[in-house]
Structure 1
Amino acid sequence: MDIRRLRLWESRNATVLCNDLIQVVLEDQGGMVLELSSSTPAGGRLNAHLLPHYRGSGTSVFSDENGQYWKESPFLYQRAGSYLSFPNYGPGFSNEETQQEHNGYTASSYWMVERYGTDPEFGGVWLMSLVRNRKEKWQVRKIDMLLPNHPVHYSASVITNNGTEDLVANVAWNNELGSPFLESGCVLNASAESWSTGDENALIGINSRLVPHTSFDDWKKAPLKEGGTVDLTEVPPVLGKSDFISGVIPRTASMGWSSVINPRQQMVYFNFFPGPASLAEDEVPINFNNFLFDYGGRSETPWSLYPGGMSQQYSLNCGSGTNNLYSGLENTKPGDQVMGADSTIIIKAGETKTLYYASAFCAYDNNRIGGNFSSVEQVVEGIVLKRTKSWAFIPADSTFHCLKRVTKRLLASE
């Protein structure tokens, strides 16, 4: 177990957390998890996370003379890997009442590292950081943790409304995966059982293939604009298309999850979080699995080299959240629902709620799992992915018992 600070570039710093199985590199800018890496069966080491070709390395997009290339967006300038979107998930906007950044203030801002160390009870390493919006009067204190012998990055995002009015928000974790882990032939899975597409204009410069504003139960038969259907659980080669879908988490689920399997490399990336049936009163609900299929369908900068050019990005976002598809807060009101589930969270004045989320990345032994699995089971020591008589095991604390205890202890000392 190890944790240390490092300097990436001038005014760009990060924290490295590692155990015997994985390594996490978490940047202060945007709270971006640049690296979640693990050993492969072939003996190498692989980072599952996307590091976009356009990612800036300067102090800020506003001090970069080429800032217009990133549309003057701090989020696009520092975007990478996995990150938290709050209180907006979707396009940025401003009006007389508020200004919301693209994919949220948390992904656009600097996270102040408060403390880091080792935990005497569970033997893990942890990092505590803070982002605060003084104008909107809210803050998020995040605790990232690794445990011994778990290939899992655990995170608790503690959201506090310091204002005098209720805070209505989107909240989502993004998990953006890229090459060399993501490639054609990868297979996808998720806990959602019903899916929807939204407004294709919510994504900048998009060329999409799915019918917009439609719902379907089987994402192996998603409706195409040109007619027919497509199996979205199979990752294709570059198509020149990009699409976004959300799937509602079953209300009876004790755990929500999403996964990406690379059968050629025998590696699995698995996200999990408390489901609706196991949610405590002071916890933030995650109502949807979100998938952004960026298979080369973005013709605007910074995805392309110039406006109208060819997209240089081939990636997948397999995150989850409580959101109105990718419409953001501008087109969302309190009480709005998608497929019968709330598209916003409400944190009352003076209230604190916590979002628990985790991402695992590891190899598996049984190559039949490469054809995807049919069910997920929570057991005492981890998570089991099942395919008829075959299975794969991920050592994990699927109920977040350890993280909840560490979070409570750290917050009590503040």
Structure 2
Amino acid sequence: MLSTESAATVRATIPAVAGALDTITARFYDTMLGERPELLDGLFNRGNQASGEQRQALAGSIAAFATMLLDNPDERPDALLSRIAHKHVSLGVTEDQYVIVHKYLFEAIAHTLGEAATPDVVAAWDEVYWLMAGALIAMEARLYQEAGGTGRDVWRPWTVAERHEQTPDAATLTLEPGDGAPAPDFRAGQYVSVRVRMPDGIHQARQYSVSGWDGSRRRITVKRLRAGEDHPAGEVSSLLHGTAAPGDTLMVSTPAGDVTLSEGDHPLVLVSAGIGNTPMVAMLRHLADHDSARRVLVLHADRSPQDHAHREEVAALVERLPGATAHTWYEDGHEGSEEDRVYLGDIDMSRVEVPADAEAYMCGPLPFMRAVRSELLKSGLPARKVHYEVFGPDLWLGQA
């Protein structure tokens, strides 16, 4: 917890600091990556840097952490920290990098706040930073240990064994270990990072859900993002979609992610949009492989049947689960009947009855998940029973 003196200072200054966080984090990233460009090679996502989403996520997480320390001084906000820790583990973040971040972050704070950055103010926020960093370092060390390694050995070569075209813009890659070592364990809902060398020589990593498995093989689905030619967003998915072929080698990280299927016999609600159904496919496959009789509502929204990746696979998995029912909404295409539960338009939660004791999992664009979450809460589900996965900077941290 924060010391009494620091808590008072943080409480007094949090409006000013929170209001300046976007400016602080912008300067922080510009200065750090300008002086330490090697950090951009394989660690930081330059698409998120260009869009500003990375600095927004960092600012939001710092403000949320400080607020939680003040509001609940006897509790550590593990739910907030866990998502960050898992993302860091999938990229191989190490303890020494927190020292680098601290240096440039506090230089940015001092520069932005000017005379307001008194020694007392800096010391109080320094305490906030190291409480957050220390908790993350401990979490990440535990996750690395559970995976049987360290942050310096998360990357392994995997060979593309098969490629299957899901839709014109989505391809499923089946991977097998390229080094002969056993495949690491993972839980349904987790993801891996894939690191590739871009045409300009810079390495970039992106996260993809493990949607299927067969012995030592693992499967991911890559959806091509059609970004502008001069914008780095979508550069990795476009490269993988356009070039990955059987026989190629990809560098793949240790599985990570804390949005995983819970055990028990209570009902489940799996909600997705677009390629956000990949963790749901893994959860359905896990349930089917264990002959689960749990009640499962599978709700999915997509552009059209032709854009719906894993459509036939999900239908087959639902068929294997006696307690599962699927409802699908398409923006374009024909409207099905009530009997086949295929609808035209946006997802409409009034068409389904959410069990009061259900646990919900969501993956898709943030506006979609915000709307669905609101409906789930109105239906009576407690907020702690509604989980979400987002790939890229989590702009919802501290708000969900």
Please classify the TM superposition score into its range, dividing by the shorter chain length: under 0.3
**Greater Cα radius of gyration, structure 1 or 2:** 2
User: Structure 1 or 2: larger strand share?
Assistant: 1
With the length of structure 2 as denominator, give the TM-score of the two structures.
Answer: 0.26
With the length of structure 1 as denominator, give the TM-score of the two structures.
Answer: 0.26
